[in-house]
Amino acid sequence: MKKQFFLSAVFYLLLLGKFFALDKTPIVAEIVSFEAVLNNQEVYFYWTTQTENNAEQFVVECSVDGKLFEEVIVLPAVGNSDIPIEYFDVDQTPESGQSFYRLKITDSKGNTHYTSSVPVMNTGEQIKINIEQTGNNCLQNGIEKENILMILRDQTGTEYYSKFNLYKKDNLLAGCDLEQRVPAGIYVVTGASKHIYYSSKLVVE
């Protein structure tokens, strides 16, 4: 009886060890971020991996309803790396209206992993926002969106972070830079508040 119990215990421990060994299998790629940004009727994709383990390729997929996705871009992965790696690509013919993009990661064995989907609104028009560094407009009534964190990237790739109040001015969407961090120029911008997320090209005047 004791011998049978001992064998059962050993078998259980072997199974337990196998389980923990499988649990420690490294993930194929640790994705730090995945961005999809509308710029001049094209969608720019930026993503960064912290590490890669036998990563084979990245596939950017698009959906108009957030359910059925189709392949739009395929890019080879570095494969194995323990340092951050940045990737970039472009969808030159995006769908009109709202689309959803996600990143599929495939390893050398054919296993796949997905990021969460990112919405992009392609209205066919460039959004122009007049950013005012000072003035009473920051305190005026009729603010459309308040205290929005906006992430701006200029043409050299330099990023700026600041918070804005957005309001209507001369039939344009205007904004007040609450932290006065952003110089005049043309930027690709993503913005987020508690209830919205959007991306577009931005002119800061």
Question: Residues in the chain, how many?
Answer: 205
- The CATH number of the domain holding residue 70 is 2.60.40.10
Alpha-carbon distance of 146 to 118, in angstroms, equals: 22
In the predicted structure, residue 18 carries a pLDDT above the cut 90: no
- Over residues 168-188, the pLDDT tens digits come to 666 555 667 777 777 766 666
Token reading at 45: 């994709």
Domain containing 154 equals: 129-204
Residues 136 and 161 in one domain: yes
* pTM score, whole prediction: 0.54
How much is the average pLDDT of 8-14? 42
Strand partners, 192: 149, 197
Alpha-carbon distance of 173 to 163, in angstroms, equals: 15
